[in-house]
Each structure stands twice: as C-alpha cells, then as structure tokens.
Amino acid sequence: MRRLLLSLSVFFFIFSPDTMYAFSQEVAIVFSGEELGSLKPCGCYEGQLGGISRRHSFIDFFRKQKLKILPVSLGDLPKSCGRQDEIKMETLCRALGLMGYVSHNLGEKDIEINPQILSFLSQTQGVEFLSTNVNIDAPFPIKISQSVVKECFDRGSPVKIAFLGILSRSLLGSNLSEYITVSEPIKALKPFVTQLRNKVNLIVLLSHAPLEESREIAQHFPEIGFIISGHNIEEPKDSITYVHNTPIISPGMGGRYVGIARYGVHNRTLVRKSVEVIPLDHSFQESQEMVSLLREYQDIVKEEDLLGKTPQATLPNGLVYTGSFACSVCHKIIYDHWYKTTHANAYNTLIGVGHQYDPECIKCHTTGYGDVSGFLNYEKNQNLINAGCESCHGAGNRHIKDVNDAYGSTDERSCVVCHDSEHSPKFQYKEYWKKIEHPKESLKKLPENSKSR
C-alpha cells in the first residue's frame, strides 16, 4: 500500500496541472543534514530508513524529469573525530559531489575534524563548503564561502537563489580550536541579507541551530524566504513551522529523511508550491554509483586495518576471553542450543554484506572486541567470532580454572549494549529472551561442583 501511495504521489507531482503549466520553469531545493556518519542502513532490522544510495536515486529521478534541482546539506557529516569518521566524511563529501550538491553548511562536528582533512575536502570533492559566521584561520588553507548564489533558467525567466549558512554558538564545545572563530549569527547575517535582498529572488538560510534560535533569526530577517534548520530532531515530518510566511523545517538526523521545497517560476518571480520531508525507505532503489562508493569505503577501512588500531581496554582481575567452545565442555546442552541461535551466526551476517572489517559493526558481532584478549581479527581470534557466551556473561577464564568462582550472572543491561535504540528499536527484553533462553541442564551430566551461577 505504501509503495502504491508513493507512486501516486510521484505521479501527481509530475502530472499535476501546476507542474504541466510550466514544467521546465520549476526549481526544487533538496535538503539533508546531520548525517552523523550514516552512510547506509546497517541492516540490523527490517524497515530501516536512509542511506546515500536511496537519496541519490531520489535526486536522480527528479533530474530525469528535467526539474531543476539544488541539493544542499545542513551540516555535521561526521559523528566524531576519529580516523573512521574522517574516512566517512570524505566518503560523504564525495557522495555530495556526485549528487550535485550546491553547498554543505559547516556544523560543529565538521569543524572538530582534523583541519588537514577539512582543508583537503574543501578543495577537492566538488561540494562547496558554506558558512556565513564561521572563520577558520588554520595552518592549512580551508576554502569556505560565506554565501553561494545560483542562477536558474538562463533563458526565458532567469532567477537567482542565494544560500547563507550559520552555526549556533550554543552547540560549540569547550574544545574548540584556537584558530576557529564563530561570530554571533544575526550580526554575521545582517550585511549579507542587506546586500542580497534586492539582487536575488530567494534567500535560503541553512541554520545549524536549534529550532527556537532559527525562529528568532526568521523574526529578525523577514527577507529570508526559507530556513532549513533543526538539531537532534529524530522525526522531522511534524517539525515544520512558519514565522510570518517563512517555512522553517528540519531534515532530521542520520540521513533517514530527505526534504524537498518546490518553487514555480512565474514572471521572473519564485512562488513556493510545497515543502515536505520524505522518509527514504525501501521503495527507493539503490543507486549503483553510491553502492560502488560504499564498497570503496569498506575497502579503505580494511586496507587501513582499523580493526587492529582500535584501542583495547584492560580487563580487571586478570580476566581473559576463552571463546564459547571452551564453555561447551561443561555446558554442552546450552552450547548446542546457542549454536542454533542467530547470535551464533552474527559474524557471517557481516561477511554477507562485506562489513567484517568495520569496527562499528564488529563489536556486536564478535566477542570481546575492544578489550585486551577479545576479538581483534579473524586470523587470530576465530574462537571469538559471533556473539558468544562471554558477550553476555563476561570473560570466563577464571571460571574455567575454578568452577566455584562467581561467574555468569547477567541481565537486560548486557543486552542493551548492542540492542540499543539505533540498531534494535523494537527490542523487548522478555520477548527477545525467549528466543535464546538456555535449556535447563542436568547436574548429573556436569563435572562435580560445576553448576553455573
């Protein structure tokens, strides 16, 4: 039913009377933001939204209908500032360039990345970095535009759209580098709005700020005709608000939604027709160009051996991981039961999608990753692949040496480490426990004094 409704909406989008009246004289601003390193749905559960591959198909569909598309990004491509985040940011910048993005507004996560990486990306990836109130005087040259103006329809009815971008100072941490200056947004915007208001048909603000702050900016600058905003908004579909006649809308987080604002061109003026955000669900096909880019990303992660470079924490009290097979000596019935569960096939699911070298995935599909003696790579730790006994009960070497050693107690807290809201939003402890509940053991089959605790 959902696929039918989507098809009908696309049909009416293309063949509605307004669209047919001036199909070649219509422009759409496509917007996304707060990617936070999300390249594609991880596949941990059905119905996941998002991914650069689906977004590319969305944009490409409308381009093929001869609709003028201006994609823009609100900011925060990475989630943190480690090496994997740097690779993700480069991959996302390449994706934005391939999708024809007009600009990427800098968020606080972007400016926290290695300045050398930021310098490289600002000059090589085909997407223009934008910020009206951020100045970076780094040792490496970083190319940032304070405004971006795009002219549409050279013949007939030329119109100009200006993009400005700000970063809220309320989002900055205490670790801001000394070479980065973030000006007060309203003060920074004023000369640009004054200069542009009589020279362009529409001023669009990419406001990397809480919605309340963006509403304040809209009150101060009625000349701004459209504001893309929001920060930490999980469900953006109901976030649209208006100040005067200016829509303020968020594209949400994690690249799960994409926004589109349609404008018709009449007598060299822009007329807003609609503004909405659309969930990128399975009804959007995978773009092969982006699939290839994602494959390159996984190749880089493998080549740089990010698995082996992840810091390992020391376990207390001399604990060491031994692997699930060691548990089978005394707990064969439980081991045989575990072996038939999806936990025992967790590593193979990563191989199936080519993510077995990805630290973000491997930690929940192996045993002890991130701890000394835990999983490091397949060649060294085949005994620790999959979500094994020690994933829930902890490293077990002391229990093996002394079966009377207190060990094995666990509860829901062990589950939610991996079954979190991002990867397992439908998780219900009692229901999920039924799928893996251990069968009862006969003490007669266990060595003396080996009852697990």
Together in a domain, 318 and 249: no
Does residue 302 fall inside a structural domain? Answer: no
Together in a domain, 273 and 332: no
- Report pLDDT digits (tens) over 197-243: 999 999 999 999 999 999 999 999 999 999 999 888 988 987 899 99
Give pLDDT < 70 ranges for the chain: 1-24, 154-157, 443-453
Handedness of CA 31, 168, 164, 83 (dihedral sign): negative
Together in a domain, 353 and 291: no
CA distance 306 to 357: 8
DSSP 371: B
Nearest to 77 by CA among 104, 53, 51: 104
Query: 162 - beta bridge partners?
Result: 149, 203
**Strand, helix or coil at 134?**
strand
Together in a domain, 293 and 325: no
Does residue 303 fall inside a structural domain? Answer: no
Together in a domain, 254 and 375: no
Does residue 453 fall inside a structural domain? Answer: no
CA distance 410 to 364: 17
Together in a domain, 112 and 48: yes
- So what's the pLDDT on residue 452? 40
Spell out the residues 6+ positions from residue 309 whose beta carbon is closer than 8 angstroms to its own: 83
**Strand, helix or coil at 159?**
strand
Together in a domain, 430 and 285: no
Q: What is the largest CA-CA distance in the chain?
A: 91
Does residue 50 fall inside a structural domain? Answer: yes
Together in a domain, 197 and 226: yes
CA distance 424 to 49: 13
Nearest to 244 by CA among 276, 277, 215, 205: 215
- Choosing from 239, 268, 297, the residue where a domain stops is 297
- So what's the pLDDT on residue 157? 64
Convert 261-294 to b/e letters by CB count within 10 Å (16 or more is b). Answer: bbbbbeeeebeeeebebbbbbeebebbeebeebb
Q: What is the mean pLDDT of the chain?
A: 89
Convert 17-30 to b/e letters by CB count within 10 Å (16 or more is b). Answer: eebeeeeebbbbbb
Together in a domain, 361 and 435: yes
Together in a domain, 92 and 47: yes
Strand 148-152 and strand 159-167: the pairing is antiparallel
- So what's the pLDDT on residue 156? 61
CA 434 from centre of chain: 32
- Report pLDDT digits (tens) over 138-180: 888 999 999 999 998 756 667 899 999 999 999 998 777 788 9
Task: Indicate which CATH number applies to the domain containing 145.
Answer: 3.60.21.10
- H or E element that contains 190: helix 185-196
C-beta pairs of 309-313 under 8 Å, 24+ apart in sequence? 309/83, 310/359, 310/369, 310/370, 311/370, 312/370, 312/371, 312/372, 312/374, 312/376, 313/370, 313/371, 313/372
Q: 357: how many CB neighbours lie within 10 A of its CB?
A: 21
CA 152 from centre of chain: 31
Nearest to 87 by CA among 330, 317, 300: 300
Does residue 23 fall inside a structural domain? Answer: yes
What is the number of domains present in the chain? 2
- So what's the pLDDT on residue 154? 58
Does residue 306 fall inside a structural domain? Answer: no
Domain that holds residue 73: 2-297
Together in a domain, 291 and 372: no
**Strand, helix or coil at 201?**
coil
Q: What is the pTM of this model?
A: 0.88
Together in a domain, 217 and 361: no
